[in-house]
Structure formats: structure tokens, C-alpha cells
Structure 1
Amino acid sequence: MTEPRSGAEEATGRNRSTLIRLVVSAFLMFGFGYALVPFYEKLCQVLDVNNLNKQDNALPLNTQVDRSRSVTVEFDANLHRLPWNFKPVTGSLVVHPGEIVTVEYEVSNNRENAVTGQAIPSYTPSAAMQYFQKLDCFCFKQQTLAAGETRRMPIAFLVSPSLPKDINTITLSYTFFEVPGANAANVQSEKAGG
């Protein structure tokens, strides 16, 4: 006959048995998780969902573009006592709301010295202003042109898809103003650096 086990030996046996079960469970869970990876990849490939192995060089589509609607954006340029030539490269463009568009304005300094200007935008109709989102614009900072310099300056924008349906044309107009005193500061910094 076997000797009866003491309480401590019995507890040790139960602990050992529990430990073995836990270790085996951990290995099984790890193995199951590891086996799910190729299964998940195959499922995604079959369903064509989240397929990271797809060899598609096409750019991702902007799904927020409202292709059912078109808006004409007209571009205008004005100068306020500034010796520059300033004009949009494109007079107007038809865009879809939500579509990111880049256009350029061309500016030339007719003076024989550097001139600094700042562009201020305006919109017609004025209600369109809140739906016209500029992502990059030369109007964000002052522009200094050297004597005789000509430059093309881009503006990247989108018209919000929430633009009211009754607005079909937006005019974006820029007026360039000379920045008083900026030219003297630029000349001083050029002399100090030169």
C-alpha cells in the first residue's frame, strides 16, 4: 500500500499540476495566435481587404471627393501701389468639392531694388470663404522679390464638400500690398551678411 500523502505534498502536487497546465495553455495560445497570421493574410487576400502584398502603384483615392458635383474657381490678381506685375497662370478651373488642387500665380518686380509684399485673399461670394481651404499659399508669409525677379508661387487648396449647393462659382482674388519698412530691413540684413 502506498503511504498517505501529507497536506504539504498534496498542495505541491496540485501546484505542479496547475503550473504544467498553465505552461501548456500558454504554448497552445501562442501557437494558435502564430497560426492565425497566415490564415488572416490568406483571408484578406481572398476578400481583397487590407491586402498589403498587393502590387498596386496607383496613388490612394481621396474618398471625400464629390465627383457628382463641379464648382468653377476663378482666379484674380490685383496690386495696391506696388511696382509689380501679378497674374494667375490659370484664369479659372473646374474642380470637384474635396479635390486637392494646385495652381500658380506669377509675379514680377519692376523696380531696380528689392521689394517686399504681402498678399491678402478675398472671396466672391463671401459665404464661400468658410468652404475654401488653403493647404499651402504664398499669402501665408511676406514675399520679397529682388530687382527684376519673376517668380511663380503656388497655392494648394480644396473646396469643402459641404459647400452649399447653390454656389457653383467661387472667385479667389489676391491683392498684393507693399510692406512698409520691410525693404530697408532686408537691405540692412543683406549688407550685414554680405
Structure 2
Amino acid sequence: MMHDNKALKLALLAVAMFGFGFLLVPLYDVFCDITGLNGKTANRPVAESRVVDEQRLITVEFITYQSSGLRGEFTPSVRQLQVRPGEMHQVDFTINNPSNNDITLRAIPSVSPGRAASHLRKTECFCFQEQPLAGRGEAVMPMRFYVDKDLPADIEVFTLSYTLYDITERASSS
């Protein structure tokens, strides 16, 4: 009887540990959204109310990556841009699909240094939703943004990177 009680406690502990491990990713995402840590940016549009700071110039660099196994090219229209806080800009990202198969893509953004992430305001972005792409197709995906005037003064350059993932299997099973 005493062994049954220990076995039950161990089983409950194992279930609790599994549950905690399963919840870590969503909890981490919420934590990063709230704090802006790890360069995570909000994957939703923001309002466009802003005031342009004519006295300050920020360099925004754009980098693209593709997950392993994803073929084709994923490139920004510019590698860097000089912007004034509050000034609206658009950068187009181009992706092509050299295969004959239709695919579904998801872009995950990241900002470095991470402190700049909460000051990047995207009003339109291909990263807000999944992107279907036909076989042998090409897409130009816009990203409209401005930098918040409250960006810390010591940040004169920051990098916005996107990693593109093929989520075709997951998207088709939903």
C-alpha cells in the first residue's frame, strides 16, 4: 500500500513536469512580448500615431535567414536604411519557390539589440500571418514600420532579422 502511494506521487510528479515543460514555450513567448527581451517583436500591427524626431538618425539593418531544407531566395529590398524616429518606411522582402510544390511559410522576426525590439512599430508585416506560395512562384512581401521616439539614445544601429520556415505540413493539418 505504501508503494502504491509513492508510485502515484511519482506519476503525478512526472505529469506535472511534462505539463511544465509543455508550457515553457508559450510562457517564454508571453514573457518576451511583455519585456521585449530576446529581440522578439510583436506579431500584430500597431497604430500609426507618431511624431517625427528630426534631430535623430537611426540605422536599421535587415538580415534574412531560411530554415534548413528551404530552397529559394529570401531577400530584403535594402540591406540597411537610415530612419528618423516616427518616420514611416516600407521595406519589401522577396521570396521565390523553385520547387513545383505549393508551400506555406512563416517568418519569425528578431531584433538585436533586444532593447530595441519594443521600439520597432510594425503597421504591416508578412510576419503577422502565414504566407502561401505557389510552386515556381515568387512573392513580394511588404513590411511597414517606424521607430518609436523613445528608443534609448545609446542605440544608433539595430538589426531586424527574419527567419523563414516552411510550415506546409503543419498548415495543411490544421
Any unmatched runs of 5+ in structure 2?
1-48
What displacement does 1:68 show? Answer: 0.3
Contact kept, 8 Å, 2:103 with 2:168, in 1: the verdict is no
State the one-letter code of the partner of 1:80: S
Long gaps (5+) in structure 1: 1-61, 187-194
Structure 1 position 185, deviation (Å): 5.7
C-alpha deviation, 1:85, in angstroms: 1.0
Structure 1 position 172 matched with structure 2 position 160: yes
| 2:126 aligned with 1:129 | no
Go from structure 1 to structure 2 and tell me whether the alpha carbon gap of 1:144 and 1:126 turns closer, same or farther (over 3 Å shift): same
Q: Which residues in structure 2 correspond to 1:1-194 (within 5 Å)?
A: 64-81=51-68, 82-182=70-170, 184=172
Identity fraction in percent? 37
Q: CA RMSD for the aligned pairs?
A: 1.7
Instruction: Determine the C-alpha separation between the residues in 2 that align with 1:183 and 1:63.
Output: 36
Q: Could you tell me whether the CA contact under 8 Å between 1:124 and 1:171 is conserved in 2?
A: yes
Distance 1:183 1:115, change over 3 A: farther
**TM-score, normalised via structure 1 length:** 0.61
Corresponding letter in the other structure for 1:150:
E
> When the two structures are superposed, what TM-score results if normalisation uses the length of structure 2?
0.68
Relative contact order, CA 8 A, sep 6+: which one is greater? 2
Higher Cα Rg, which structure: 1
| Residues 69 and 129 of structure 1, relative CA distance in 2, 3 Å threshold | same
Cross-structure match for 2:43: none
Q: Which runs of structure 1 show a deviation greater than 2 angstroms over 4 or more consecutive aligned residues?
A: 182-186
